[in-house]
């Protein structure tokens, strides 16, 4: 399969008026666009075309879609991943129909295709309390300005369940420190209010007191000058948050963990506190309960404890 490079945002907008796949991409949020573009590139390659621009998307038909889905099944992709590809194809077909490049009957036949059946165990993990303590100990051992900054970032991800893209784009104006909540617009352009627990509030307060900048973003970049790290008046990228966590977890001596695992940990802690799934769903900013349930990482220990608590017959004696 040939390697196809990602298109820039300006290229997508320039070509979108003639291409339903690119027109579909334009409507997506920035955080979703890279993933969907990669899926479209793979679909085009499966169909035998070199790029998204070359693929005649308006000529897609029901049997073509089934052939693509079968190829993905043979590649051993998870049912949820195959369903994502199907949702993207349906979105492109709808765009082609709206652009009057596809007949309504062809679009309806594609739209009626059912998603893949089956499921897989959820990915990722939740950090235990000792691992969480070790992360903050690693930050506290850093006497430079990045110590309080990194502790505040990790406390926000763990204590508020933010996505790394949400954390990197936070501004000071989105925080209400007195009433202890954050007002933000997350994935899918959904606005939500996230409440700040005491530990996170302390870490954020400590960082804000030291940040000494007019930059509107809450978290700022650090530039190394020799062995010293200095905070500069520029916001962090989401990739920088990934790098920060990776460095701190190595210093803490814990295994591989991603920023999204901290979000999974947040949800798992809420479930461990016996919060109902609707409350967790709303705090996470999810659209469906099914998605929220995938973030419950209590795992085998909880399952074993639940089974051991079953009383199948009255106790003897």
Which tokens sit at 161?
């369940």
Rounded distance between C-alpha atoms, residue 24 and residue 43, angstroms: 14
Active site residue 123: no
Sequence-separated (6 or more) residues with CB below 8 Å from residue 27: 95
Active site residue 187: yes
Which tokens sit at 208?
């804000």
Q: Catalytic pick from 221, 248, 263, 281?
A: 263
Active site residue 286: yes
174-182 contacts, C-beta under 8 A, 24 or more apart: 174/218, 175/204, 175/218, 177/201, 177/204, 177/205, 177/208
Q: Catalytic pick from 85, 107, 266, 295?
A: 295
Question: Quick check: 241 and 168 in contact, CB under 8 A?
Answer: yes
Q: Catalytic pick from 90, 132, 149, 286?
A: 286
Active site residue 260: yes
Active site residue 224: no
Closest CA to 204 of 163, 237, 174: 174
Rounded distance between C-alpha atoms, residue 21 and residue 116, angstroms: 22
Q: Catalytic pick from 163, 211, 221, 248?
A: 163
Give catalytic residue positions: 163, 187, 260, 263, 286, 295
């Amino acid at each position: 399969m040939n390697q196809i490079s990602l298109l820039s945002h300006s290229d997508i907008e320039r070509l979108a008026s003639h291409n339903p796949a690119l027109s579909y991409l334009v409507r997506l949020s920035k955080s979703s666009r890279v993933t969907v573009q990669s899926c479209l590139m793979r679909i085009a390659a499966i169909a035998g075309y070199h790029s998204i621009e070359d693929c005649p998307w308006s000529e897609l038909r029901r049997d073509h879609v089934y052939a693509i889905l079968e190829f993905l099944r043979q590649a051993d992709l998870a049912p949820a991943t195959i369903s994502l590809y199907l949702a993207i194809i349906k979105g492109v077909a709808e765009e082609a129909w709206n652009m009057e490049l596809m007949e309504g009957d062809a679009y309806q036949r594609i739209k009626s295709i059912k998603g893949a059946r089956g499921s897989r165990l959820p990915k990722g993990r939740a950090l235990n309390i000792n691992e969480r303590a070790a992360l903050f100990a690693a930050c506290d051992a850093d006497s430079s300005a990045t110590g309080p900054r990194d502790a505040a970032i990790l406390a926000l991800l763990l204590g508020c369940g933010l996505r790394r893209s949400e954390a990197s784009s936070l501004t000071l104006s989105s925080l209400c420190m007195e009433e202890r909540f954050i007002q933000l617009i997350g994935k899918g352009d959904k606005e939500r209010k996230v409440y700040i627990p005491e530990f996170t509030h302390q870490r954020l307060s400590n960082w804000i007191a030291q940040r000494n900048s007019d930059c509107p973003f809450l978290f700022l970049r650090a530039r190394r000058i020799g062995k010293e790290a200095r905070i500069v008046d520029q916001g962090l990228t989401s990739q920088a948050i990934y790098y920060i966590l990776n460095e701190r977890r190595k210093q803490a001596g814990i295994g591989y963990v991603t920023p999204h695992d901290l979000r999974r940990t947040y949800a798992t802690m809420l479930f461990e506190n016996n919060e109902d799934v609707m409350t967790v769903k709303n705090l996470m900013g999810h659209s469906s309960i099914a998605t929220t349930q995938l973030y419950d990482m209590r795992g085998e220990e909880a399952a074993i404890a639940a089974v051991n608590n079953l009383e199948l017959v009255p106790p003897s004696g």
